[in-house]
């Protein structure tokens, strides 16, 4: 199973590199990213759509017509043409992997890095800015934060940077920020402030 996922990711990376060059030539890099991520969100919402697009039993002409009706005139020609090429090659099963690979390529071309941050309480604006600065200093890239809250962390801070291991300097920066967050969570508990009341 893991080998199949790795192979799929490898094929998606090849597609992503090709389509990223086309998007760059036409100045549609941001637009294509939004369209690919929108399609993934659509597949999440409409559970029957993905099996329909990827099933070898469904007539290929029906798939072609469906893609044209759903997207032509509503999305860029580059996006629709990409889906039609994937259909002809029998690779619509790569849509999710392609969207992920293209996002990675989009970040790389802009010298950015995706940072997934899980904290016990929502990050304050000041702490968020401090975290961005710390990551920028240690990675030499502009961080794009994806935040989530898990009260079970009890004041901790979990940061995942583009699936990379932290070197000593990053670890020290994050340890210092974790102490700041822990102090904030402790202060709010002592003050009787409830995170659950705030978000109810």
In tens, the pLDDT along 8-64 reads 888 899 999 999 999 999 999 999 999 999 999 999 999 899 999 999 999 999 999
d(Cα 121, Cα 153) in Å, to the nearest integer? 9
Q: Beta strand 142-149 with 112-119: parallel, antiparallel or unpaired?
A: parallel
Q: Is 73 exposed, middle or buried (0-12, 13-18, 19+ CB in 10 A)?
A: exposed
Residue 196 has pLDDT above 60, yes or no: no
The domain ranges of the chain are 2-108, 112-199
The string over 41-56, giving b where at least 16 C-beta atoms fall within 10 Å of a residue's C-beta and e elsewhere, is eebeeeeeebeebbee
Q: Is residue 152 over pLDDT 50?
A: yes
Q: How confident is the model at residue 2 (pLDDT cuts 50, 70, 90)?
A: low
3-state secondary structure of 123: coil
User: How far apart, in whole angstroms, are the C-alpha atoms of residue 97 and residue 6?
Assistant: 10
- Edge-to-edge strands of the sheet including 112-119? 142-149, 112-119, 157-161
Characterise 178 by phi-psi region: left (phi > 0), alpha (psi -120 to 50), beta (else).
alpha
Tens of pLDDT along 169-184? 455 666 666 676 666 6
Give the C-alpha separation, 156 to 150, whole Å. 9
Tell me what pLDDT residue 195 has: 39
**Which CATH code, of 1.10.520.20, 3.20.20.70, 2.60.120.260, 1.20.120.80, is assigned to 2-108?**
1.10.520.20
Pairwise pLDDT comparison (168 vs 75), residue with the higher score: 75
pTM for this prediction:
0.72
Number of Cβ atoms within 10 Å of the Cβ of 80:
18
């Amino acid at each position: 199973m893991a080998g199949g996922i790795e192979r799929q990711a490898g094929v998606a990376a090849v597609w992503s590199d090709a389509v990223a060059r086309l998007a760059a030539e036409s100045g549609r890099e941001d637009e294509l990213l939004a369209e690919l991520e929108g399609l993934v969100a659509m597949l999440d919402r409409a559970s029957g759509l993905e099996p329909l697009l990827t099933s070898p039993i469904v007539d290929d002409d029906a798939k072609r017509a469906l893609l044209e009706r759903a997207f032509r005139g509503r999305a860029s020609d580059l996006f629709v043409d990409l889906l039609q090429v994937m259909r002809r090659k029998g690779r619509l099963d790569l849509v999710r992997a392609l969207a992920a690979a293209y996002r990675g390529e989009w970040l790389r071309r802009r010298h950015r890095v995706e940072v997934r941050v899980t904290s016990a309480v929502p990050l304050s604006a000041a702490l968020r800015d401090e975290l961005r600065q710390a990551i920028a200093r240690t990675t030499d890239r502009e961080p794009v934060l994806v935040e989530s809250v898990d009260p079970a962390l009890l004041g901790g801070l979990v940061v995942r940077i583009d699936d990379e291991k932290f070197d000593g300097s990053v670890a020290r920066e994050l340890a210092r920020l974790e102490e700041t967050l822990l102090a904030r969570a402790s202060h709010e508990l002592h003050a009787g402030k409830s995170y659950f009341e705030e978000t109810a």
